Chains A and B, each alone.
Chain A
Amino acid sequence: MTQNPYSSLPDSAFWRTGAALADPMDIRGLWHPKADIAKTTRIVTAGSCFAQHIGRAFRERGYAWFDAEAAPGTPEVQRAFHYGTFSFRTGNIYTTQMLLQWVRWATGLSPVPDLFWQEGERFFDPFRPAVEPGGFASLMEARASRQATLAAIRQAIRRGQLFVFTLGLTECWRDAETGLEYAVCPGTVAGRFDTDRHRFHNMTYPEVMTALKKAITILRRINRNMRFLLTVSPVPLTATAGGQHVITATTHSKSVLRAVAGEMAAQHDYVDYFPSYEIITSPVFGGRFYAANRRSVEPEGVDHVMRCFFHDLDTAFGRVPAAAPPRPAIAPNAEEDAPDPAAELRCEEEMLAAFQTRT
């Protein structure tokens, strides 16, 4: 048999040896990172809901995930108000156009629209309608809160070193008059649907690509050292308004996003692509990472994605792949469960002195 270009390729280049015969859970080397990520690298995460898992995984492993809009309070309270989910409190940014929109507002390249939805006495931000449970108490509150998020985005742009963005959707809803894109279809999470004003749009490959390029260009103009890591959400569409079956609409949407992400990574040395999408959706895994609704990704799937991520990162830069960190233990209540002998002695003395009691 003569030599050919395939003769010397590694097992991973062939489906039979790289996929069909391999134990799916042992498959590694799906990602060849372009640059190392140090524990001190300030990592910004944004995008579709899958991005929140990436941010959390960085945090749990001691990486410098950058919370540009940190808030006080317990993790439960923060979660309920969408703090600490992404690097800023935008909620999910599903499309590249939405990312561009936020970046342009934060950097002053576009005026921030004074558009809010009122329902009864509550106010909702059309561009992040779910961040405040039950809506804002006043228009002033809604405005001030959005301004704080824009300030946080500016911080993230200025100080971030790696921007991880998860592309989620191509389908979106826009304002017919202004062209502004809403976070979700008006009338679903909040707002009222207006057939004259609210238009469905399914972004094409060139549109997704152009918006992403523009956003990255703006970010790099302000922070020329910013690197980008793109991922595509493996979570199928909840619903499609495009007229197709939701399965074909999902394939179309994800294919466009995957192609854009790959192309951006191919074109720019400062843009990388991590295949979390493939790790969850590949037939090799037989859908094992999906929940019963065949849509949500189980924690086991997220863990596996992140194990692959850190394995490939460590391997590429000559480190022994680190084991996944144990699940964080529940912190004791500092008020009640952590005795401080010195403080307790002071308390004892105070009581004795005031009440003049002798033991």
Chain B
Amino acid sequence: MKVMLFGDSHLAAVRRGLAAIPPARLDGVELQFWGTPGNRFRHIDWQDGRITPLDEATANAFARFNGQGVRALDPVLYDAVVFVGARIRPGAVIPDLLNHIADPDRYLTRAYIKAVIAAQFRSLSTYRMAQAMAAAGKTRVLLNPISLSTHRAGAAPRPYAMARRASPADIALLWSVMAEVLAEDGIGAILQPQDSVVAGYLTDERYGLPPGDDAHKNAEYGALILEAILQAVQRPAGSPVNSSHNGSGSPALAALSGAAFARHRR
């Protein structure tokens, strides 16, 4: 099985995490990386059923990190393509959503939450490439969006007082909505492990890099994501993905309990 991991600098954690995966776990799986730092993502496009660099410099940058000279991503060549990071940052809306969801005086319907997340994802060119690739039906498409900012790293994040009080059920609600949006677009979800979220809307500092970089994550985090990817691709296409792997191993929806479940159940 050939699996292409395509992404921006967030691919680095997964690449590092590879060292923690027992070789036997990779039996029958050929992993390939195709990535470049995010600034180059302005110079790629979905053309003729492939993700294609728009200039030589970008093609060279992707080929360099790939190590096998792959200059364009043709989904036909892979059993699965996993978008890792790839400029798709739920953190742009998650803290604000949680700030509302966790506030007892406010309320957002599930439909509204979904509309916010869908609008954010679908406004991003890389996400639209994932949509197009999934719609083409030549390969399985999975997405692991960028993780939330690291707790106590880098500049103090904008204070979201209510989001800090968000419960695991609130997080589970958002994760299930994210998975629903992706599923509608034919994309499998590999979401940030719910038990890696602390202080409401941040990533546990144990997964962070040294202070000063609150965006990227370490090899331990990368290994978690890689394990989730392996589980997903080794499952038959179309079978349910335990996308949020919240530590207990239960699907995101099963984790919906308590207040958030009571307020949002259909």
Choose among B67, B92, B99, B107 the residue with the greatest number of A CB atoms under 10 Å from its CB.
Answer: B107
Chain B residue with Cβ nearest A76:
B119
Choose among A73, A80, A133, A144 the residue with the greatest number of B CB atoms under 10 Å from its CB.
Answer: A73
Chain A residue with Cβ nearest B18:
A354
Chain A residue with Cβ nearest B15:
A354
The answer to whether A354 and B12 have CB atoms under 8 Å apart is: yes
A62 part of interface (Cβ distance < 8 Å): no
State whether A348 and B115 are in contact (beta carbons under 8 Å apart), knowing that A141-B110, A335-B124, A357-B64 are contacts in the complex: no
The answer to whether B11 and A351 have CB atoms under 8 Å apart is: yes
The answer to whether A355 and B12 have CB atoms under 8 Å apart is: yes
**CA A76 – CA B123 in complex, angstroms?**
12
The answer to whether A351 and B35 have CB atoms under 8 Å apart is: yes
B174-214 contact mask (Cβ, 8 Å, vs A): 1 or 0: 00000000000000000000000000000000000000010
The answer to whether A347 and B38 have CB atoms under 8 Å apart is: yes
The interface size of chain B toward A, counting residues with CB under 8 Å, comes to: 49
Residues of B within 8 A of A26 (CB): none
B32 part of interface (Cβ distance < 8 Å): no
Residues of A within 8 A of B119 (CB): 73-74, 76-77
Q: Find residues 2-51 in chain B having any chain A CB closer than 8 Å to their own CB.
A: 8-9, 11-13, 15-16, 33, 35-39, 41-42
**CA A56 – CA B178 in complex, angstroms?**
31
Chain A residue with Cβ nearest B117:
A73
Residue from the list B11, B35, B116 in contact with A77, Cβ < 8 A: B116
Residues of A within 8 A of B16 (CB): 354
The answer to whether B107 and A348 have CB atoms under 8 Å apart is: no
**CA A141 – CA B261 in complex, angstroms?**
11
The answer to whether A335 and B87 have CB atoms under 8 Å apart is: yes
**CA A137 – CA B109 in complex, angstroms?**
8
Jot down 26 A-B pairs with beta carbons below 8 A, ordered by A.
A71-B112, A72-B100, A72-B108, A74-B116, A77-B112, A77-B115, A80-B115, A137-B111, A140-B262, A141-B263, A148-B107, A155-B105, A333-B123, A335-B92, A336-B124, A344-B38, A346-B213, A346-B216, A347-B216, A350-B9, A350-B213, A350-B216, A351-B11, A351-B36, A354-B13, A355-B65
- Where the two chains meet, the residues of B that have a C-beta atom closer than 8 Å to any C-beta of A are 8-9, 11-13, 15-16, 33, 35-39, 41-42, 64-65, 67, 87, 89, 92-93, 96-97, 99-100, 105-112, 115-116, 119-120, 123-125, 213, 215-216, 262-266
Other than the given A151-B105, A355-B65, 9 more pairs (CB < 8 A) read A73-B119, A74-B119, A77-B119, A81-B115, A140-B263, A141-B110, A348-B9, A350-B216, A351-B36
- Where the two chains meet, the residues of A that have a C-beta atom closer than 8 Å to any C-beta of B are 69, 71-74, 76-77, 80-81, 132-134, 136-138, 140-141, 144-145, 147-148, 151-152, 155, 333-336, 339, 343-344, 346-348, 350-351, 353-355, 357, 359
